[in-house]
A and B are shown apart, each in its own frame.
Chain A
C-alpha cells in the first residue's frame, strides 16, 4: 500500500475534522454552528495538526518538500505561476469578504429571558407580579363555559393583533417575522418560552412590550409594541388564556418555584 504524502495528509486531516464538525452538527444534532466558534475551532485544529506533522524531522521535511519544490523546481514553472496568481487573489477575496459591509445587524449580547421586575405600573395601577394571577384561570375549574368563552375572545384578540408577527400557528413565523433580526418573534409552541413562564410574566411582557425590557434585554432592539396602549387589561388576560390553550402548555405556578429553570 502506498503511503499518503504528508502534505495531502495534513490538508486531508484538517478537511476531515471540518467535515466531521459540520456532519455532527448538521445531520446528527440538527443545530447550526456559530461562525465565531467554528473559526476558533478550525484555527486550533490547524495548529495542532501542523504541530504533530512537524514533530519529527523526517515528517517535517516530507511536509515541506513539496512546497519547497513548488518554489524552486524549474519543471513546476507553470504550477508555480498559477499558484502565485491564485494565492494573492484568494487572499484578496478573503479580505474583501471579511471587511465588506453587510446588512447584518451588529453583534449584540442580549439576555433572552431577563429577570422580571417585582411590580409593574400599567393602566394607572401597580401590579405586584409576584402575586398577580389571571382572573379567568380559576374559571377553568368553576365555570368551564365562561372559561371557553374567554378563550374564544382571546383568540379574536390574538388574530386581530398578534398573529402578524407571532404566526397563525403561534410558532413565531408570522407574515412580518422575516423582517426581524434579533430578537425574533417568540415561538409560543417552543418548550422554552411560555411553558417556562408564569402568566404574570406574560402580562408584564405584553403590557409593556419591547420598551419595558430591562437593560440586559436590550429594550432598544425589540419592536414589540407597548400593548397597554392598545388593549385593555381584560383583553390581555384573555389572550394569555388563548396562548396556553392553543399550545396545550400549562402556565407555571408559584408553588413550583424551586431551583432554576
Chain B
C-alpha cells in the first residue's frame, strides 16, 4: 500500500505543478503571440477606434456621498477586498499541496490540517465577494464617469468574471463540504481534481481583475486620448500585466501562509489540552514555512515588475524610485526587516522543541549579527536627516560613509545576504536532532560551509564592485547576485537532503513545547505582511499620480493630488485594523460553532 501511495503522490505532485505551469504557459504563450501581433500595427495606427475618447471632467463630475474624501472610501474598501482576495486565493494553493502530501505519506494529520485551512477561508470567501460588491457600488456612485468608461472597455471580461466567480464558488463548496465524502480511494482523486479546478478558477479570476489595475497603470489597446480600439485582449495584455500576475501569485501564497499562521498562533495560545497545543504548534510552523518560502522569491518578482515599469515609462519609474515616493522605500525596508527578524526569531525558538537543537544555539548569535549588519545597511537612507548643527559639524549635507551605504549596490548585497541567512536558519532547523548515516557527512558539511562562504563572498564582491562602475552598468549586477543566492539555496537543499536521507533522530520533536512569545512572532508576521501589502498597494496605485488611467484619462476630482506618506500610512493602518477586526471575528465564529457542537 505504502509504496503505491508514494507513487501516486509523486504523480499528483507532478500533475499539480504541471497544471500551474500550464496556466502560466498558456498565459505567457498567448501573451507572446499577441505581443508579436501587436508590434506590427503600432507604428501605423491603422486601426480606427471603436470607443469614445476618455471624457474631460470637472470637479462637479464627481458626486459626493456623505462627508469625507471619496478616494479614501474607495481606497479602504478596495484594499480590504484585496486583503481578503489575496487570502482566499493563496490558501487553496497550499491546501491542495498539503492534501497531496497527506495522501502521499498516508499521514492523516496533513489531511486534517488542509481541511482546517480551507475552513478558515470559507467565511473569508464571502467577505471577499461582499467587499467586491461594495467596491463596485462605491465606484459607480463616486466615480460614475470612470466606471462607465472602464465598463465599456471591459464588458466582455465582466461576463467571464461572473461565470468564473460562480464556478469558483461551486468548486469551493464541493471541495469543502465533500471533503469527508470523497476521502478515500477514487473519491480522493475526484476531490483533488476539484481542488485543482478551484485553484484554476481562482487564478484566472485574479489575472482577469489584475488586468483592470494594470490597464489603469499602463494602458494599452486604446488611442492616446483613451478611445478603445476594439480588442479587449490588447487592453488586458498591457506591459505590466504578467509581472503583476506573478508578483501577486507569489505574494498570495506568502500572505495566505502568514494569516493562517496567525490563526494557528491564536488557537495555540487559547488551547488547553497538550495534544491541541501540539497540533496548532505544528500548524503554525507549517504556515510560517509557507509564508517564508513565498517571501524569498518575492523581491525578485518585484525587480521584474520594476524593470517592466521603467521600460514602460521612465517617468513613472523615476517617480517611484527617486521622486516623491523615494522615502516610501525606507518604510518598506522597516517592514521587510521586521518580517525577516520575526521569521528568523520563530525559527530560532523552534530549536527549543527539537531534542538536540541545543547544538545549533551558538549559531544563533552569529546569524543574528549578520542579519543585524545587513539590516542596518538595508535601512540606512540615501539622504540622511540631519539637524543644522550636525550639518555644521559635518561641513555639508552629504555623509561620506553613511551616504555610501544608501545606494543600490549596498542594499542589494544586504538583502541577498539576509535571504541566505534566513535560509541557513531553516537548514539548521531541518538538521537539528538528526544524525546523518552517510559516510561522506563530514565532506558534505565542508561542502555546505564552502558553498555558503563562496556565495556570500561572491555577493559581497559584486556589491563592492558596483561602487567602481557607472550607474547604468551597476543595475545589471543585481542579476548575478540574485542567481548566486538562488544557486546556493538550490544546491544546499540538494546536498543537505541527500546527506540526511535516512538519518537517525535523537528523539521525537516536542510539538507544543514552544514559549508564548514565539506565537507573537507569527502575529508580527501577519500584521506586517498585511500592512506591507497595504503600503505597496498605495504606491502601485499612487504612481499614476493625477491620472485615472495613466496618460489617457486625467483625474479631475478634488482628490487628484498624491497624498503624503504619513497620510497614506494612517489610511493603511486604519484599513489593517478593520481587516484584523474582521479576521478576529472569523476566528471567533469558528470557536463559537465548535462550542455549539460540543454542547450538542
* A/B touching: CB–CB < 8 A: yes
Measuring CB to CB, which residues of chain A are less than 8 angstroms from any residue of chain B? 25, 29, 31-37, 40-41, 44-45, 47-48, 51-52, 54-57, 60, 104-105, 107, 109-110, 112, 172, 181-182, 184, 187, 190, 192, 259
Interchain CB contact under 8 A, B349 and A182: no
Q: Smallest distance from the beta carbon of B24 to chain A beta carbons, Å?
A: 38
Against A, the Cβ 8 Å flags (1 = close, 0 = not) of B499-540 are: 000000000000000010100000000000000000000000
Residues of A within 8 A of B399 (CB): 31, 34
Interchain CB contact under 8 A, A56 and B395: no
Q: Smallest distance from the beta carbon of A20 to chain B beta carbons, Å?
A: 12
10 nearest interchain CB pairs? Answer: A181-B388, A55-B348, A182-B388, A36-B385, A34-B386, A32-B393, A105-B388, A48-B372, A52-B368, A182-B391
Q: Is B364's beta carbon under 8 Å from chain A?
A: yes
A259 to B397, CA, bound (A): 22
Measuring CB to CB, which residues of chain B are less than 8 angstroms from any residue of chain A? 337, 341, 345, 348-349, 351-352, 358, 361, 364-365, 368, 371-372, 375-376, 379-380, 383-402, 470, 515, 517
Interchain CB contact under 8 A, B394 and A44: no
Query: Which of A52, A55, A172 lies at the interface centre, i.e. has the most chain B CB atoms within 10 A of its CB?
Result: A55
In the complex, which residue of chain A has the Cβ closest to the Cβ of B342? A51
Interchain CB contact under 8 A, A48 and B391: no
A55 to B396, CA, bound (A): 42
A192 to B387, CA, bound (A): 21
Known: A34-B390, A51-B345, A57-B352. A110 touches B385 (CB 8 A): no
Q: A44-B379, A48-B341, A105-B387 known; 20 other A-B pairs, CB under 8 Å?
A: A32-B390, A34-B399, A35-B387, A37-B380, A41-B376, A44-B375, A45-B372, A48-B368, A48-B372, A51-B341, A52-B368, A54-B517, A55-B345, A56-B358, A60-B515, A60-B517, A104-B387, A107-B385, A182-B391, A184-B392
Residues of B within 8 A of A25 (CB): 401
A47 to B344, CA, bound (A): 13
Residues of A within 8 A of B358 (CB): 56
In the complex, which residue of chain A has the Cβ closest to the Cβ of B337? A44
Interchain CB contact under 8 A, B394 and A47: no
Interchain CB contact under 8 A, B395 and A184: yes
Task: List 5 interface pairs A-B (beta carbons < 8 Å), by A numbering.
Answer: A31-B401, A48-B371, A52-B364, A57-B515, A259-B470
A19 to B397, CA, bound (A): 24
Q: Smallest distance from the beta carbon of B512 to chain A beta carbons, Å?
A: 14
Q: Smallest distance from the beta carbon of A23 to chain B beta carbons, Å?
A: 14
Interchain CB contact under 8 A, B397 and A112: yes
Q: Smallest distance from the beta carbon of A222 to chain B beta carbons, Å?
A: 13
Known: A31-B400, A41-B376, A52-B364. A181 touches B349 (CB 8 A): no
A187 to B392, CA, bound (A): 12
Residues of B within 8 A of A31 (CB): 394, 399-401
A107 to B371, CA, bound (A): 31
The one of A33, A47, A107 that contacts B341, using a Cβ cutoff of 8 Å: A47
The one of A34, A45, A47, A109 that contacts B402, using a Cβ cutoff of 8 Å: A34
In the complex, which residue of chain B has the Cβ closest to the Cβ of A48? B372
Q: Smallest distance from the beta carbon of B369 to chain A beta carbons, Å?
A: 8
A116 to B341, CA, bound (A): 45
A32 to B384, CA, bound (A): 12
Residues of B within 8 A of A45 (CB): 372
Q: Smallest distance from the beta carbon of B519 to chain A beta carbons, Å?
A: 13
A104 to B390, CA, bound (A): 10
Residues of B within 8 A of A33 (CB): 402
Interchain CB contact under 8 A, B389 and A104: yes
In the complex, which residue of chain B has the Cβ closest to the Cβ of A59? B361
In the complex, which residue of chain A has the Cβ closest to the Cβ of B394? A32
The A/B interface has a contact count, at CB < 8 Å, of: 95
A110 to B390, CA, bound (A): 14
Residues of B within 8 A of A54 (CB): 517
Residues of A within 8 A of B371 (CB): 48
In the complex, which residue of chain A has the Cβ closest to the Cβ of B400? A31
Residues of A within 8 A of B400 (CB): 31
Interchain CB contact under 8 A, B349 and A56: yes
The one of B364, B376, B515 that contacts A44, using a Cβ cutoff of 8 Å: B376
A20 to B390, CA, bound (A): 20
Interchain CB contact under 8 A, A37 and B384: yes
A45 to B375, CA, bound (A): 10
Known: A37-B384, A104-B389, A107-B387. A112 touches B372 (CB 8 A): no
Known: A52-B365, A112-B396. A37 touches B402 (CB 8 A): yes
A181 to B530, CA, bound (A): 42
A106 to B61, CA, bound (A): 41
A126 to B372, CA, bound (A): 55
The one of A47, A48, A182, A192 that contacts B392, using a Cβ cutoff of 8 Å: A182
A191 to B336, CA, bound (A): 39
A6 to B402, CA, bound (A): 32
Q: Smallest distance from the beta carbon of B387 to chain A beta carbons, Å?
A: 5
Known: A35-B390, A104-B389. A109 touches B383 (CB 8 A): yes
Interchain CB contact under 8 A, A55 and B390: no
Query: Which of A29, A56, A172 lies at the interface centre, i.e. has the most chain B CB atoms within 10 A of its CB?
Result: A56
Interchain CB contact under 8 A, B364 and A55: yes
A25 to B391, CA, bound (A): 15
Residues of B within 8 A of A36 (CB): 384-386
Residues of B within 8 A of A110 (CB): 397
A37 to B394, CA, bound (A): 14
Q: Smallest distance from the beta carbon of B347 to chain A beta carbons, Å?
A: 9
Residues of B within 8 A of A190 (CB): 395
Interchain CB contact under 8 A, B337 and A184: no
Query: Which of B371, B388, B401 lies at the interface centre, i.e. has the most chain A CB atoms within 10 A of its CB?
Result: B388
Q: Smallest distance from the beta carbon of A260 to chain B beta carbons, Å?
A: 8
Query: Which of A33, A48, A105, A190 lies at the interface centre, i.e. has the most chain B CB atoms within 10 A of its CB?
Result: A48
Q: Smallest distance from the beta carbon of B499 to chain A beta carbons, Å?
A: 26
In the complex, which residue of chain A has the Cβ closest to the Cβ of B358? A56
Q: Smallest distance from the beta carbon of A195 to chain B beta carbons, Å?
A: 14
A60 to B349, CA, bound (A): 11
Interchain CB contact under 8 A, A44 and B372: yes
Residues of B within 8 A of A55 (CB): 345, 348-349, 351, 361, 364
Interchain CB contact under 8 A, A34 and B385: yes
A57 to B361, CA, bound (A): 12
Residues of A within 8 A of B398 (CB): 112
A37 to B387, CA, bound (A): 11
A105 to B390, CA, bound (A): 11
Q: Smallest distance from the beta carbon of A113 to chain B beta carbons, Å?
A: 10
Residues of A within 8 A of B396 (CB): 112, 192
A187 to B349, CA, bound (A): 55
In the complex, which residue of chain B has the Cβ closest to the Cβ of A183? B391
A88 to B217, CA, bound (A): 52
Interchain CB contact under 8 A, A56 and B341: no
Interchain CB contact under 8 A, A56 and B351: yes
Residues of B within 8 A of A172 (CB): 395
A25 to B393, CA, bound (A): 13
Q: Smallest distance from the beta carbon of B226 to chain A beta carbons, Å?
A: 33
Q: Smallest distance from the beta carbon of B429 to chain A beta carbons, Å?
A: 12
Residues of A within 8 A of B337 (CB): 44
A36 to B391, CA, bound (A): 12
Q: Smallest distance from the beta carbon of A109 to chain B beta carbons, Å?
A: 6
Q: Smallest distance from the beta carbon of B402 to chain A beta carbons, Å?
A: 6
Q: Smallest distance from the beta carbon of B25 to chain A beta carbons, Å?
A: 43
A223 to B396, CA, bound (A): 16
Interchain CB contact under 8 A, A181 and B392: yes
Residues of B within 8 A of A192 (CB): 396
A32 to B390, CA, bound (A): 7
Residues of B within 8 A of A259 (CB): 470
